[in-house]
Chain A
Amino acid sequence: GIQVEQSPPDLILQEGANSTLRCNFSDSVNNLQWFHQNPWGQLINLFYIPSGTKQNGRLSATTVATERYSLLYISSSQTTDSGVYFCAVTGTASKLTFGTGTRLQVTL
């Protein structure tokens, strides 16, 4: 099956800093999503981005499907951005395959 690797595994930022999270995948994909898992465990949809670039407020994402990676940019980070960020992909299977996540802590 498809392998999904995320980096870095852990990230500590001061409030106001910018960051880039990376997701590499081992095969062609038809679907790629970014999620934020908040400290209460809820999975929040951030982006559905099989290719191209999207922006939503302070967050943006870019997927380069031909090179098998996606990037999530967080600008002007806030403490509420803390949590775990997951990339998940689907090739032709009937499921999402999740990466191992990037744990982000934003401090004051």
Chain B
Amino acid sequence: EAQVTQNPRYLITVTGKKLTVTCSQNMNHEYMSWYRQDPGLGLRQIYYSMNVEVTDKGDVPEGYKVSRKEKRNFPLILESPSPNQTSLYFCASSFGLPYSNEQFFGPGTRLTVL
């Protein structure tokens, strides 16, 4: 089944404890990105990647890191999480850039930072 998977789906952690949220897609998509969703602010892009070893900042990259060492994986790294990073996170992928390709979203990761 063609899909985007994320792990973990739920995570409660404490301030400063490094964590990684994994994202994987099995559709051979070139483009992958991360969004966060917050009440009143909607969905905002954190980082995106147009291909292996090519990443760029989105609208809210502060406090996050990403890497794209393999085409199928695009992990989101929080080196020192803070309570303002409590959010619902989505990974998305598509064959090419979003302006001409349908985006597919993962199931979401609900993160709470205490």
Contacts and interface: CB of A to CB of B under 8 A. Distances in A.
Interface of A: 30-31, 33, 35, 41-43, 45, 48, 86, 88, 90-96, 98-101
A92 B99 CA distance: 6
B87 to A, nearest CB: 11
A96 B98 CA distance: 7
A96 B102 CA distance: 10
B contact face: mostly helix, strand, loop, or mixed: strand
B43 A98 contact: yes
Interface centre among A91, A96, A99 (most CB of B within 10 A): A96
- Chain B interface category by residue count: 20 to 34
Interface of B: 31, 33, 42-43, 45, 48, 50, 56, 58-59, 88, 90, 92, 97-105, 107-108, 110
A99 B37 CA distance: 12
B42 A101 contact: yes
Contacts of B105: 35, 43, 45
